[in-house]
Amino acid sequence: MAFPGLLLAILAVAVLGPGRATVVVAVGLVSVPLLARVYPNGLADVNVKHSAPLADRPLGEEVAELLDRGGADALVVTGSATGEAVNLNELRCVKELAQHVPVLLGSGVTPENVRTFLPYADGFIVGTGVKHDAVVHHRVDAARVARLVAAVQQHQQSRRPAS
């Protein structure tokens, strides 16, 4: 039987105490089961950051392998390191190659650059980009989170047909 998300969130607050960071952790914990249901075969990183390939491979080969042999439900494209933005040309190429499979950005998304990536990404894994001064070891900055959400919402509203 699944552990109810509300109980998991209450447990997080009981252990960590009240605060914004606790809310972020609780939301993350509650979201994990949903992510597992949405992507039961998992996510696969294209050109995994913090690593180097043993041999160069064409991007098309890597994407095909992750989808066909690996059975990935979604692909993650990252920059070269934590907080580093994705190469836009690589993202466009992966999105085209992935066809119907969701493509997520795994690094470098900030309130300032999210509009650039929105046409080519189905979702974002955001961490450093919403921290104070966009520094990985700093705390989450509520104002940066609000600006990121506002930018995404503005993009979505601009794509809706006029009524």
* CA angle centred on 8, ends 34 and 29, rounded to 5°: 45
Give the CATH superfamily of 41-159: Aldolase class I (3.20.20.70)
Q: Answer yes or no: is pLDDT of 25 > 80.
A: no
Within 10 angstroms of residue 59's Cβ, the number of other Cβ atoms is 15
Q: What pLDDT score was predicted for residue 43?
A: 74
For the chain, strand residue ranges (E) read 43-46, 74-77, 103-105, 123-124
Q: CA triplet 32, 126, 97: central angle to 5 degrees? A: 90
Structural contact between residues 130 and 10, judged by C-beta atoms closer than 8 angstroms: no
pLDDT tens for 64-84 read 888 888 888 889 898 888 888
Q: Domain ranges in the chain?
A: 1-38, 41-159
Report the mean per-residue pLDDT for the chain. Answer: 80
Q: 157 has which bridge partners?
A: none
Q: Where are the alpha helices (DSSP H) in 39-141?
A: 59-68, 88-98, 114-117
